Every structure is written in structure tokens, then in C-alpha cells.
Amino acid sequence: MQHFSSFVDLSKHKQEEDRLRFLLSELNHRTQNTLATVQAIAMQTLRGAANKEVVDAFEGRILALSKAHSLLGRKHWETASLRDVIDQILQPFGLNDRRVARFSVVGGNVRIQPKAALTLAMLFHELATNAAKHGALSNGDAGKIDIAWQADPKSDRMRLRWQESGGPPVTPPGRKGFGSRLIEGGLAQDLGCEVRLDYEPLGVVCRIIMPVPAGAG
Amino acid sequence: MNSPFSGRRVLVVEDEMLVAWLLEDMLADLGCAVVGPASSVDQALAMIDAEVIDAAVLDVNLNGQMSYPIADALAARGMPFVLSTGYDRDTLLDNYRTFPVLQKPIQRSELSDTLAKLLNPKGELSVESAIAAIAETSP
């Protein structure tokens, strides 16, 4: 009898787990579809009214957000691999371009929390967009972007560096854009990161020291 | 408009009107002529029978109805298509996982890359390759 009841419990447990998995998959799907609708509404609303740069910027941000959601959805919103976040976001910027290597991405296997994954996804998108407009991705094939990170197992913190080179000479922007706000508000305040964005003459450098889950990397 | 897809006829199957409009606009920007949009399996099958189509963008889930019969009809006629979905590729039925998939929300660059592969499966779509092809066939 003991055996029988534990069998029943197990199968009930399994059913419950399947149901949760189904609901989560359904939720992920609906989120993606909702973001697709937001994208469509924005394009209909802005078509003809706003200039192309504004429309592209908005669409790019929605798509970056949706990619981060999709990554997190696949891992049941537990953690995301930093490398996967970078891969997803930088792929449209030529990360895997076989013709010319623009990116160097070096770092161990670090898993980050959902909130950090979303914010970093948006940040990488902003940095890459800026690089495509003014920085290392803006002048033919000469520029390069080095991304490197290292987790410190003792402090449960990670250092990450985005460094551009080979682009046109850098001049700091006149006003603070979405990227700077994301860094100061999202990364620094929400995630407890130390962040520095420097417009060095040879290329933009963004340095981040952020907490990572214990044992990562 | 000078575009690699000028005049190519692309069927849009999508049940959500706003997303269908977006796809129409994106395809028109690429120079394609849009067929549809169809919002149900029956409507899409009728269009496949009645219209000239070079390729199709096929939403997997049409108001709860799976669009696999449309995929079968297109495959049977040798018409290339891409499945568009907010789900992961893993949630597709086994037989359909090998077809190209566009993840929603759809990105312009991915749509254009996928179309290039669908409409020119033999290689890169480029002026150079077109010139090379003409040079090869000329006496």
C-alpha cells in the first residue's frame, strides 16, 4: 500500500510539472507574440510620421528585449548564459560574419540572473548600435570590438569589458542617450554594478563589475 | 525600385492583422509583391491554388489551428516557405523542424536573409553571381 500511494504521488507530481512546463511555454509564446504586436503597432503608428532613424531605434530595442526574453524563456526564467546573451544581441551586427572578424568574445561560462540578462541585452544592443553609427562598426571593415569577461570566484563578482578600436576618432556625445541612462539607472542602480563608459579617443570602452550567482564561471 | 526581390510574389499567412500588416510593409520595402494575407488554413490553401507564388511566410498557429496542412501543400508544389512563430523550434512537430523558422517578433534583416535563401537556394544572391551566371551561359 505504501508503494502504491507513493506511485500515485509521483504521477501527480509529474502531471503538475508537465502542466507548469506547458503554462510556461505558453506564457513565453504569448510574450513573444505581444512583443510582435507592439512592434507592429509602433511601425503602423510611426510610419510616415517619424524619421527612419527613430523607427529603427525603437524596433531594434523591442527586438533586443524580445531576444533576451526568448533566451530566458528557454531556461525557465532561472538564469541565462552571458555568452548566449551576447551571441543573440550581436548576431545582427555581424558577430558571426565569416567574411571579416569584427568581434572577439572571450570569457568563461558565466550564468546571470534574468534581470541582469535583460539589462545587459539592452546595454549590448545600445553599445553595438552606437558602434554601428559612430564607432568601430561605422567605417568599413577596419574597426574591431573586443569583449572579455572574467568571474572572480572569491568575491562572486565578474569583470566585463567592451572595448572598441579602429573606428573613427571618438568624440563624447553632447547629451545623454538611452545607453547612458541604461548604464546609470539599470545597471548601476538596479543591479548593483560598477560601470564606467569612457569615450576614449581610440574607441569607446565600457567596463562593468557586477555580481554573479555564486559558483558561476 | 532596385531590389533583389523585385516582383517576387510572397504569400503571407498570418492571423493577427497588425502583424500581417507589418509583414506586408516589410516585404513591400524589400520589393516583393505580397499575396494575401491569408488568415486561415482554408483561405491559404485557396490562394496557393489560385495565385502565382514564389515563396511564403507562414504563421504556425492560426487562431488555434496549426498551419501544417499549408506547409504540406506548399512543399508538395515545391514552393519554398518559412515558418514564423513565437514558440521555440522545439515545439514544432518533428517533420517540420527542418524547415526554416523566423522567430517572432520578426527582424527585417532575418526576413531578408531568409528570403534570399528561399528564392535563390543555390547560392548567394549577388550581382557578381548573376554576372558570372550570364557569362557562363553566353556563347
Residues from chain B that touch A35, judged by Cβ atoms under 8 A, are 104-105
CB contact under 8 A, B18 and A28: no
Nearest chain A alpha carbon to B89: A74
B86 touches A at CB < 8 Å: yes
Q: Dump pLDDT digits (tens) for B3-49.
A: 778 889 999 999 999 999 999 999 999 999 999 999 999 999 999 99
pLDDT band at A3 (very low <50, low <70, confident <90, very high): low
The beta-carbon neighbor of B19 closest among A37, A66, A70 is A37
A119-154 confidence digits (pLDDT tens): 999 999 999 999 999 999 998 888 999 999 999 878
How many Cβ pairs within 8 Å bridge chains A and B?
Answer: 61
- pLDDT tops 50 at residue B124: no
Mean pLDDT calculated for residue range A183-199: 84
Q: Cβ–Cβ of B87/A35 closer than 8 Å?
A: no
pTM given for the model: 0.80
CB contact under 8 A, B22 and A43: yes
Residue B23's closest chain A neighbor by CA?
Answer: A40
Closest residue in A to B107 (Cα–Cα): A63
Tell me how many helices (H) and strands (E) chain B has: 5, 7
H/E stretch holding B73 reads helix B68-76
Residues in chain A with CB shorter than 8 Å from the CB of B112 are none
First to last CA, chain A: 47
Predicted pLDDT at B76: 93
Is residue A19 predicted with pLDDT exceeding 80? yes
Report pLDDT for B125. Answer: 44
- Interface touch A33/B86, C-beta < 8 Å: yes
Residue A216 has pLDDT above 60, yes or no: no
Most confident of A43-52, A142-151, A178-187: A142-151
Q: Do B105 and A63 touch (CB under 8 A)?
A: yes
Chain B residue with CA closest to A73: the answer is B88
Enter the C-alpha cell of residue A163.
Answer: 572595448
What would the mean pLDDT of A16-41 be, rounded to a whole number?
88
How does strand B55-59 pair with strand B9-13? parallel
Contacts of A39 in chain B (CB under 8 A): 22, 105-106
Query: What's the full length of chain A, in residues?
Result: 217
Which chain A residues touch B106 with a CB distance below 8 Å?
36, 39
* CA-based nearest distance B139→chain A, Å: 33
Q: Is A96 on the interface with B (CB under 8 A)?
A: no
Q: Does A109 touch chain B (CB under 8 A)?
A: no
Angle between helices B108-119 and B17-29 (to 10 degrees): 70
Is ipTM over 0.90? no
Chain-chain contact of A47 with B105 (C-beta, under 8 angstroms): no
- Tell me if chain B has a CB within 8 Å of the CB of A62: yes
CA A172 centroid distance within chain: 24
- Render pLDDT for B65-105 as a digit per residue (tens, 0 to 9): 999 999 999 999 999 999 999 877 777 888 888 899 998 99
